Each structure stands twice: as structure tokens, then as C-alpha cells.
Amino acid sequence: MYLLVWIFFLVAVVWAFERFYLRGKGVKEYPVPGDPGAVQRFNQAAEPGPAHKQVIKAVREMTLKISAGRRHHNLQAAREAFDTLGDGRDFQSEIIPVDAGGVPAEWVIAPGADTNHRVLYIHGGGFVVGSPKSHRIITNKFSEITGCAVLSIDYRLMPEYHHKDCVEDCRMAYRWILDNGPNGPGEIRRFFIGGDSAGGNLTLSLTSWIRDNGYRAPDAVVALSPLTDVTFSGASLHDNQDTDIMLKPFLKLLNKLPPFVKSWYVFWTYRLRPCNPIASPLLGDLSNLPPTLVQVSEAEMLLDDARRYVYKARASGSPAKLQTWAGMLHIWQIFEPQIPEAVEAWVEIKKFLEDGVSS
């Protein structure tokens, strides 16, 4: 009898630890912002065109290669497959390898870019794949539309390293770029931060850290389909599983796990509580942040991560903006100019950044 009581007590303690300490209170639903310009929807009337279907076919082949590499514990093969995203593209930008305060990186500089105007870009890839090479389409485009030199960092990846190492590399590169450009030490005049998916997570986490530590804030921030909640409480993780061809192969198993197991999985792999704002920017203080643009597809699993972040930021008084596209795949912006909607997304990014600097 005493043994049963102790077992019950132990189970109750473990459950309470997970529910209230690891997972935390979560985030409530925030209302749609009253400002009509805060949320914009695109491509509502038309189905994705033939170019999108061709890209989907290529993405399926790539995800099969990445999945095969991870399944056979060959992360190097998975990373090499992901790095082929930019193969065959003729980039006009100059690419210069650099040591950004101890973080491997590369400068991407479009013709005519002002090296005192800079972008810190943080690539996606689920914290386990991705590199400056895989995201050169995006960094080249960022330099082109902003006239800035883009610093694309090769932060340490999991599982060889911990999530805190990814975070620390972003912070180190941020401190470095404030005082250094492609031509050496120099004052920074215009400054943006951008990132996608897992890199969007690191971008938004970094932005809050900058505010909390009194550093020079970026003039504006761009997050493409960011992961903002590693308690995985967003409804779209389940609702959009069948329409997200890029993330489904990697997140469908996670969806089958109960929240209790997910929390312990994150705690073990991240060495952080899932509710810690460093890992889940959505769950932190979103007041007094710089102008932030979040783009996401309405068909992807991270839709609610993006939507709830913007709604909460707006409710906290920060000038955040949400733009959504119907039927697009995760990070469709990387398929510019093949997909017309990717071209449209970059037009909107350019417009947002120009407005942020002039306001």
C-alpha cells in the first residue's frame, strides 16, 4: 500500500514539474489587431501556379535525401543535401568568408551595396542543417533590395552542440557586426536582422536580448515562418500537417507524442525549459521591440507560431506586422524568382524595410 502511495506521489510530482515548470502557462489567444495594416493576406484568389508545383517536386526529393541521411545517422549527408538549395544560381553578389568574432560567417555584398549598412542573417534548418551556402539565394536578395552588406553566420548546429551554443553564436556575431564591416572596423549606420524558420526563432530571441541588454537595436527585423513556441501548442502544427510538404516529414512524429513527452524531449535536447523565452520567443516580453515583419504561409505548420507572435507583439505595443500567403510551402521566399509569390514577398520585404528606415 505504501509503495502505491509513493508511486502515485512520484508520478504527481513528475507531472506537475512538466506541466507547470517545463511547459509553463503557455500563451493565450490574442485578438486580431485593430489596425487594418497590421495583417495582410496575399494570393487568396488563385491556386499556386505550375512553377510552385515544380518546386514542390524538387523539395520532396530534397526532403527525402535529408530524411534518409538523418535516418541513417549521417547528418553530413543531410547537410550536404540541404546545401544544394542554391546550386546552379549565378549570384551577382561578392561572397567573402570572415571570422565574425569567433563565429564562421560570410559577407554577401550586392553590387553598389554600402558596407556601413548591414544585415545580420540567421539561416534556418531546424538547428541541425543549413549554412550560409544553403541560404545564399536569400542573403543575395537581402543585399540586393537593401543595398546592405549581409553577414550570414555559420552558427554551431545541434546535436553536436547545444541550443545555447546556437544562441551564443548569434549574440557574438551581433556584437561583432556593430563595429565591423567587410572592409574592417567601421561604424554601422543602417542595420537589419533577418532569419527564417529555426533562424527566425534565433532572430526573435536575439531581438529581445538586444532590448534587455541595452544594445543598439536593429532598425527593423524580418522573420520568415519563424518557430516561436517549442511547447508546440499551436493548432496549425496538427491542422496543417497534410499541407506542409517541407516540415511534415520532420514534425509528424513529434505530433504523435503527448505534450508531456514533448516537454521532456525539448528539455533534454535544448537544455532549456520549453517555456523559456530564449527557446520560445512567443512566451517572453514582446514590448518595446523594433518594427518586425513576419511572413508565413497559411498552409504550413508554423502558421500559428507566426500569427500568435505578431498578435501578442501588437498587444504589447510593438510595431509588428503579419503577412500571409495561401498555399505556399515553408520558406517559399528562397525560390525567387521561380515562384511569383516569392517575388511578391520580396517586394513586400523591401517596402517594409524602406518604411522602417524612413519612419
Q: For this structure, is 330 an active site residue?
A: yes
Any catalytic annotation for residue 29? no
Spatial neighbors of 190 by CB under 8 A, at least 6 apart, are: 114, 116, 117, 118, 146, 148, 219, 357
Residue among 134, 152, 197, 233 flagged as catalytic: 197
Give the start-end residues of each E strand in 183-332. 184-185, 190-196, 220-224, 292-297, 320-325
Quick check: 274 and 24 in contact, CB under 8 A?
yes
Task: Point out the catalytic residue in the list 106, 330, 336, 348.
Answer: 330
Q: Is the dihedral of CA 320, 326, 330, 333 positive or negative?
A: negative
Given a contact cutoff of 8 angstroms between Cβ atoms, the answer to whether 131 and 68 are in contact is no
Q: Is the peptide bond before 159 cis (omega within 30 degrees of 0)?
A: yes
Q: Cα separations (Å) of 8 from 1, 14, 17, 23, 273?
A: 11, 10, 14, 21, 24
Question: The C-alpha cell of 170 is what?
Answer: 548569434
Rounded to 10 degrees, the C-alpha dihedral 269/272/276/281 comes to -40
280: annotated active-site residue: no
Single out the residue of 320, 232, 229, 234 nearest to residue 282, CA to CA. Answer: 229
Reply yes or no: is the peptide bond before residue 31 cis, omega within 30 of 0. Answer: no
Beta strands in 204-340 (DSSP E): 220-224, 292-297, 320-325
> Cell 555584398 belongs to which residue?
109
Distance between CA atoms of residues 199 and 61, nearest Å: 23
Angstrom distance (rounded) from CA 312 to CA 305: 11
The sign of the torsion formed by the CA atoms of 310, 313, 314, 320 equals negative
Residue of 106, 300, 341, 348 marked active site = 300
Name the residues annotated as catalytic: 197, 300, 330
